[in-house]
Structure 1
Amino acid sequence: MTSESDIVPDSERRGLIGALPARARPYASLIRLDRPIGVWLLFWPGAWAVALAGMGEQGWLLIAWLALGAFAMRSAGCVYNDIVDKDLDRLVERTRLRPLARGRVSLRGAWTLLVAMSLVGLAVLLQLERTAQLLALASLAPVAAYPFMKRVTWWPQAWLGLVFSWGALVGWPAVTGRIEAPMLWLYAGSVFWVIGYDTIYALQDKEDDALVGVKSSARALGRHARLGVAICYLAALLLWLLAFRAVRIEWFALLALLPVALHLLWQVAALKVDDGADALSKFRANRFTGFVMFLACYVVGTA
């Protein structure tokens, strides 16, 4: 006989989701309401771009709109990912209790939620400058392709980097109305940052991924995972340095990146590649990386 604990994850019986009506909880789990780290990581590149571009007239209001957009689109992305992966999720220990995988949410319900979150994203899109709107719309194709990447390439983390960094391409023209070199350097650096932290995240699932045939950078790198993450983080720092130099040539532009570099160095040095709990902790630490990078962009962009 199947017990409730075999169907409903503990996260739905406590915290924010546990406080919701029972019928709403599977839908809250579907958008990962109890795990906001994905929203933060999607939000930061856009906030960096706004800050590095000097904030503009809207400033903090624009950042607030981007935060709402990050929540809506990350939620929509989670629902879409679970629709695509519902059969695969049943085979992986970490994902087997997801609402679609366990049949606690219907496909129709999932698609309805996806449409609702997309409409919130559309409301945010309408607040942006025209160039920013067009660039935001251009993200839909790579977003739609992402769930399939782990079936065709050993580096789905690189594709995620392209998607999760897209805010940098939107935030800059939302302030300036133009496509310029600093935003491209910022975006490129963010791509490598995402590859690094998502490789850390993928360390949790190496064994299950191998059993079901799912590819990842963590599996591709094997025992060289720490070195691979270090190279990605170094590339991110160098590209961000170029972005800062394109805005300010003064020495403090270089110094502003020091806290970011130290935090990324700590992640690499302290990472336990065979400890799933530690990998999750280091992955989540990138929320703070995003914050100190935002401070650096704000100092350089508004000084």
Structure 2
Amino acid sequence: MSANTTGEIVPDSEHKGIVAALPQPLRDYASLARFDRPIGWWLLFWPCAWGLLLAGGEGRWDLLLWMLAGSIAMRGAGCVYNDIVDADIDRQVARTAARPVASGRVGKRAAWIWLVALCLVGLIVLLQLRFEAQLVALGSLALVAAYPFMKRITGFPQAWLGLVFTWGAPVGWAALRSDRLDVMAALYAGAILWCIGYDTIYACQDREDDALVGIGSSALTLGRHVKAGVAAFYGGATLLWALAVWLLRPDWVALLALLPAALHLGWQAASLDPDDGDNALARFRSNRTLGLLLALACWVVGNA
């Protein structure tokens, strides 16, 4: 397998704006933190916003902005850590062989320093939250540390990613209140299934390489049932979000707030072509819109 190791645009990179204009050495560090792929930090941020808004956080723009900053920094830190751990695997996968650590453009020592710097930004954000939310946020560290190893021991690492990448939902809830944990749990559980669904879509791009390398993937495990699997995960997510809404506000009218998000997920599942990488990537990235639609629903229900 031949791979691009010169720092050119990789297939899943949006690589626009400021990142594309950076000199190569700085671009490598920006790419290492996936600043060229902003979809990741949006997917990390939206569950934070859902938890905050469903908890009644109307007008708390300060917390929303801090959580966005934390999502950018900690998603970047997670990607750096993942690339350090997975460097040997990444070299064997066409889509990831050009990543800065895998290609050797950034050494592991420099990557660790960059990781610490990003974590310090995350620490600043953590200190803006009330104590209860700080404890919840810190509870994710063990899950984050274990995630890169899940693909080596399970055929469904996306389930672990769901636990990690949607942890912002309980953090956002705890930032304002410590009661109604049933509502928070239903919101979080739905977010986990949503994450498994969208990351299964993303994994469709790597099925051949993952099989050759011998690592686990829900797209491989589901095989020819990927579309049905994604539809099931998205359907389960919608039902759990409806439960969260009903527990908080038992009113059939309140459930209508979820309709735009449910229709969007239905479109993703129905129009997905697992064998078309561009189609899968577009459906994956469209979850940025899903996040906004659900945030609006949480705002309507949480502040009615």
Residues 192, 233 of structure 1: 8 Å contact kept? yes
Query: What is the percent sequence identity of the aligned residues?
Result: 59
Residues 132, 177 of structure 1: 8 Å contact kept? no
1:54 corresponds to 2:56: yes
5+ residue gaps, structure 2, are none
Q: CA offset at residue 6 of structure 1?
A: 4.5
Q: CA offset at residue 108 of structure 1?
A: 1.1
| d(CA) in 2 for partners of 1:86, 1:111 | 13
Q: Match for residue 237 of structure 1?
A: 238
- The 1:6/1:170 distance shift into structure 2, 3 A limit, reads closer
SS of 2:34's equivalent in the other structure is coil
Q: CA offset at residue 181 of structure 1?
A: 1.3
Q: 1:160-186, CA deviations, whole angstroms, 9 ceiling, x for partnerless residues? A: 000011001100010114462111110
Q: Match for residue 271 of structure 1?
A: 272
TM-score by length of 1: 0.96
Q: Match for residue 140 of structure 1?
A: 141
1:42 corresponds to 2:44: yes
Instruction: Give the paired residue count.
Output: 300
1:1-303 equivalent positions in 2, closer than 5 A: 6-10=5-9, 15-55=17-57, 59-178=60-179, 180-303=181-304
Residues 7, 24 of structure 2: 8 Å contact kept? no
| d(CA) in 1 for partners of 2:17, 2:67 | 26
| d(CA) in 2 for partners of 1:88, 1:78 | 14
Point out the more displaced range, 265-274 or 248-257.
248-257
Q: CA offset at residue 141 of structure 1?
A: 0.2
| d(CA) in 1 for partners of 2:285, 2:20 | 22
| d(CA) in 1 for partners of 2:105, 2:299 | 44
TM-score by length of 2: 0.95
| d(CA) in 1 for partners of 2:180, 2:71 | 21
- The 1:14/1:284 distance shift into structure 2, 3 A limit, reads closer
Q: CA offset at residue 18 of structure 1?
A: 2.6
RMSD of the alignment, in Å?
A: 1.6
Q: CA offset at residue 136 of structure 1?
A: 0.3
Output the amino acid matched with 2:250.
I
| d(CA) in 2 for partners of 1:136, 1:218 | 29
Q: 1:254-282, CA deviations, whole angstroms, 9 ceiling, x for partnerless residues? A: 10111011000000110011111110110
Residues 50, 174 of structure 1: 8 Å contact kept? yes
